[in-house]
Every structure is written in C-alpha cells, then in structure tokens.
Amino acid sequence: MDVTKNNFKEAYCMLEKSLPNADFVSIDAEFSGLSTIKGPRYSYNTLEENYLKTKKGSEHFLILQYGICLFTWNEENNRYTAFPFTFNVYPRPYKRYFNDVMFMVQSSCLDFLSQNNFDFNKLFYEAISFVHPSTEKKVKDKYDNATKIINKKDSRASANEEKSAIQAVPKEESKVFIPKDKREFMGKIITMVEEFVVDCAKSSLDLPTCNPFERKLIYEILEERYPMGLFLQSEMNEKKEMYVRVVKITERGKSMKFQEDLLQESEFYNQTNAFNLVMKLLVQAQKPIIGHNMYLDMFYTCANFLASPPDCLSEYKLLLNGLFPVIYDTKVISSTNPLSGMLTKGTGLKNLTESIGVDLVPCELDFDEYVGDKINTEVSYHDAGFDALSTGKCFISLIKSLMLHFDKGDGRIQMDGNLLKPFQNRIFVMGINDINYVTVHKEDQMPSRRGIYLVTFPAEWKETDLHNLFSPICKIFANIVWVNDTSAYVSLQDKTKHEQVIEQYVKNKKHSNIFQIIPFPEQNNGTEDDTNETAAPETSSTKRKLISYQESDPEDGEISSDEEGDSKSPKDSNLTKKSEQDVKEPKAKKQAMFNVSEDW
C-alpha cells in the first residue's frame, strides 16, 4: 500500500488495528545517501570504530521512503498473511522556522533511486512529515506555547460568553507607544475601525497590508480600545503580503473560534510529526523486526525518527535493544551453515528472493483484506514496501528451510524458539575483513588478529611485491587492505608463522630503509585511522583499486552490490561455497560464523 499524506490517516488506522496481531514485522528503507567518508572496501576496524565511522559519515542523511510489512499467521489457510506499506517520508517545517532540517544528499544514491523509478515529485509534494530528533524539543515547545496562548484567550472569552456587544473602553491616553513615523498610519487604522464598529452592515474588515511591527501596533492598540467584541486575525493575500482582518464576534463565538484554532493547531502539529506516530506504534508493539543487511536501516531509523545516535557503540546497542528487543537479519541467516551451502546465487535480497522455491522452500502468502487492490505485487525492487515484503518472504523461506533440514515441521515459525536463537539480535556488518556481525544485546568478542601486519613500502611496489615479500615464509591472503599508496594490511594464511615473520622482518632491521612490517596490535590499539573525510590517494597503476562508498551500488543500502559476484558475502568456508577464484587465491577468513546445530 503506497502511503502519502493524502491517505495517511486511513493507512495509520489499518496499521494500528493489524499490528497487535502480527507475528513479526519486516522493514526496509531508502536513503538520501550512504556515507561522506571514502575509503577502502574492507578494513580491520573494530566494531566501535565502524560505528563511529557510520555516525560521522551517515548521521546527516535522510530516510526518504520507509517500508513496513506485517506478517500474521492464518491458521485456516496454514500460511502467513502479509500487509505491506510504503511510507514516503520527508521532514516538513513547522511554523516555517521549526523542524527546518538541514540534511545531505549523495548524487550516486539519488541517481540509483531514479534509475529504479523512485518518484521524487511524490516525495516532495505528498510525503508524510516527521519531526527529526534534533528539532523535536523545539517543535514541541512551540506547539505547547501556541496551545497555552489559545487556552488563555479561550478562558477569558468563556468568562464573558453571554456578552455580545462590542465594548470600547473610555478614550484616554493610550499606554501603547507609537513612533512618530507610524502615527499617521495608525491614525488611519483607528479611524477605519471606529467606522467599522458602528456600521451594522459589515461583519469583517481587512486592514491595509503592513509589516510585522505595524501589525504589532495594530494588535496592541485595538486590543486596548476594544477588549471585547472584536477578533483580530493575521492573514496573507495572493501576493503573500500580510494584513490584519478585524471580525465582529460575540464572546461565545470567540470561544468557539479559539476551540477551532486549538483543533487546527493540534492538526498541524500531528501532520508535522505524522510518521513519528507510526514509529511510536512500532516501538510500543515490541514485535520481532526483520531486515536484510540492516545495519544502516536500523541506524537511520534511530537517527531520523527516534533519537540522536549516541557517541559510542555500547550506548547505541542499549538504545537499539530497548527500542526493538528482537531483531533478525536475513543476511546473517543466509550466510550461515547449512543455509549458505544451499544457496547458489548469493545472499543479496534480489538473489535470495529468486532462490525461494529453487534453493529454498517455497513461500506462499495471502494479503490482508483491508489492502485489497491497493497492493502492488509486481516486481519493484528498491521500493521500500516491496523490499520489506521480499525480506519477510526470504525470512519465512530461510527459516522453513532450516525447519525442514532439521526435521522441525513446516508450520508456523516459533519466533521465540531455539531454532532462531543463534540469529537473534545479530546484524550483518560490512567492510570489516574478519567480523561478520554486531550483536545488539550483549558484548561482542573481537577475533584474534595475530598474523596481520601493516606493511610500509616504496610507492613503486605492486601487489605481487607484497606476495613475494612473504612467500619465503608463508602465503598471504588475496584481500590486501590498502591504506594508501605506500602502506597496506596483509594477513598470513598460516598464523603459526607469525613468530617467524617477527624474527625475520620485525626484529631484523636490515631492510627497514626499504620496507617496514609492524604487527597489527601495535597499530593504534589494533586499528587503523581510516575515518578521514578524504580517501587515500589513488594511483594510475593497476596494482590496486580503492572502492569508495560513492563509487558503489547502494544495493540493500550496502556499500556495493550483492549482485556483482556477491562480493560482500562472508569469505569463511563455513558460510558460503568457495568459488574457483577463492581456491586459487584464498581470502582472509572472517570471524568464525556459527553453525545452527552447534548453537542449539
């Protein structure tokens, strides 16, 4: 169901009614950008550094479209019923100056979305507004102040609601100071209003256009002279010039007008933070959340709608786990034995979806009766609602394939069962050579980085020179992490040769004027500083290629596309089948991914 501001109330009511009965909820998001930080495709960052890099490089991008799909088990049909929503979202200003969010865009992402038929006109003209966490307090304070003023005026009107005649105070020296250059203008205004008050044929009067200071004087003078019976309202003409409208009104009518103003103010505020109400429903429901390669999806969900990202990973994990206690990432699930061995195409969302009914068990769905013909079931990847639907289908198919593999039946998925425990709250992490995922609900164990070295060398060296350097001792893995033109991280295939490398290259200084080898733990506590805004210098040589965030295809919100050789999949043989190239040129193993049967 495609949701804009025009049908938001209808969609919200449907979501509010259906969400409590859902077994789980799948989500997906489309972004205005991925990261401002360029760098190598892979690194040996820690999870903490990876989070800080994401926070620094991605915090100021926006979610432009948010997909939510509810999945509810239907006992009668013995299958799940899906209810997908595509919310087009954009933070509209509140009272012109509030919620006026400054954000970043990345041209490659916008180009990618446009190539996938993203409707930017719909986004800017019809999107549902939300209040950004950075402006939430100011918007709420402005709304509270506006309602307080209206209620105060209303209480005064209610106390005199039976009085109907316009009452003017006796003419005496005004307490309102009028500057010399405004006295002629204000004299004309006062005369116009005096004539209007005694003219029974007129019920309203539009005063001449005026600037803000003149409007202030008009309000002060007229409220002083006519405390009852006149209602003043600022209006704008076709030329967008402001003026004051004077209306004759009884106090009872004035009270009704204030109530209308209060309702209008509340409606305007609710329109401004409309999508925040959806996220509030999602958080309160505490349903399992399913995503695919969802690291950025969850980060942007927090940063755009819920809370500003904390300054450290541990606090972010606490925040995320408090909002969504149960999370499953289909990228993690599909990259784990025995499922990784079943898949022949890869673990990108499109590849996984196409594997349903081929490598994985089929997934038949019904659609919610409330949606009816509003559902678009045509293939439309990178529409957030369609991707959320596809993610949920993949989750069902993956878990049912596991159930079949372990002879656990073929019915409703037990969301709190042992089969899902190994995957719970583990979110796939890209760009770190030896770490697959971050665990949200507990501390992560860092892998040993023994046998990993920072090598500095002459600019003329090529990749073959690095292989030749270590070949007398041991082969190194093919996925060298280039830091810049004269340094790179390498990893030994045989970690037992670490001491030999230390003796021959680290302690022996005879080649230090040509190259230098430093064991990984000695480098910045086991990390490299790659959070600079600019990338390491590229060379025209073919010896290496830096792949920046900007140069890559934002498939699934990823740095590069799963569809191009599935290069983001874990390289451990426990996770995926090794290609012929992997056999010829082994890559460094990631942290050992769990086997489902072992984790039971």
Ordered by where they begin, the domains of the chain are 2-131+274-439 (3.30.420.10), 151-252 (3.30.1370.50), 452-519 (3.30.70.330)
- Scored b (16 or more CB within 10 A) or e, 224-237 reads ebbebbbbbeeeee
Distance CA 413, CA 416 (A): 9
Distance CA 115, CA 125 (A): 20
Residue 505 scores a pLDDT above 80: yes
Task: Give per-residue pLDDT as tens, 37-96.
Answer: 887 777 888 999 999 999 999 989 999 999 999 999 999 999 999 999 999 999 988 776
Query: Looking at residue 408, what is its pLDDT?
Result: 82
Task: Give per-residue pLDDT as tens, 219-270.
Answer: 999 888 887 778 888 999 888 899 999 988 765 556 666 667 666 777 777 7
Distances from the Cα of 478 to the Cαs of 91, 464, 493, 587, in angstroms? 45, 10, 9, 5
Q: Band of the pLDDT at 311, cuts 50, 70, 90?
A: very high
What type of residue is 405? H
Is the distance from CB of 270 to CB of 277 less than 8 angstroms?
yes
Residue 163 scores a pLDDT above 50: no
Distance CA 62, CA 57 (A): 12
Query: Looking at residue 251, what is its pLDDT?
Result: 56
Mean pLDDT of 416-434: 92
> Among residues 425, 547, 552, which one has the least CA distance to residue 481?
547
Tokens at 146, concatenated = 């506006």
Pairing of strands 79-88, 204-206: unpaired
- Percent of the residues in the chain that have a pLDDT greater than 90, as a whole number: 52
Q: At 504, which helix (H) or strand (E)?
A: none
Query: Looking at residue 350, what is its pLDDT?
Result: 92
Q: Which of 164-173, 224-233, 389-398, 567-576 has the highest mean pLDDT?
A: 389-398
Residue 578 scores a pLDDT above 50: no
pTM: 0.73
DSSP string, 414-450: -TTSGGGGGGTTEEE--SBTT--EEESSSPPPPPP-T
> Among residues 101, 84, 16, which one has the least CA distance to residue 278?
16
Is the distance from CB of 23 to CB of 415 less than 8 angstroms?
yes
Residue 324 scores a pLDDT above 90: yes
Whole-angstrom distance between the N-terminal and C-terminal Cα of the chain? 39
Query: Looking at residue 261, what is its pLDDT?
Result: 67
Between 21 and 407, the more confident residue is 21
Query: Looking at residue 203, what is its pLDDT?
Result: 82
Number of Cα atoms under 13 Å in the Cβ half of residue 304: 29
Query: Looking at residue 267, what is its pLDDT?
Result: 76
Q: Band of the pLDDT at 478, cuts 50, 70, 90?
A: confident
Residue 191 scores a pLDDT above 70: yes
Mean pLDDT of 511-534: 62
Of 81-85, 153-157, 233-237, 494-498, minimum mean pLDDT range: 153-157
Q: Band of the pLDDT at 142, cuts 50, 70, 90?
A: confident
The long-range contacts involving 574-580, CB below 8 angstroms and separated by at least 24 positions, are 574/337, 574/340, 575/335, 575/336, 575/337, 575/340, 575/436, 576/335, 576/340, 576/343, 576/347, 577/340, 577/341
Residue 586 scores a pLDDT above 80: no
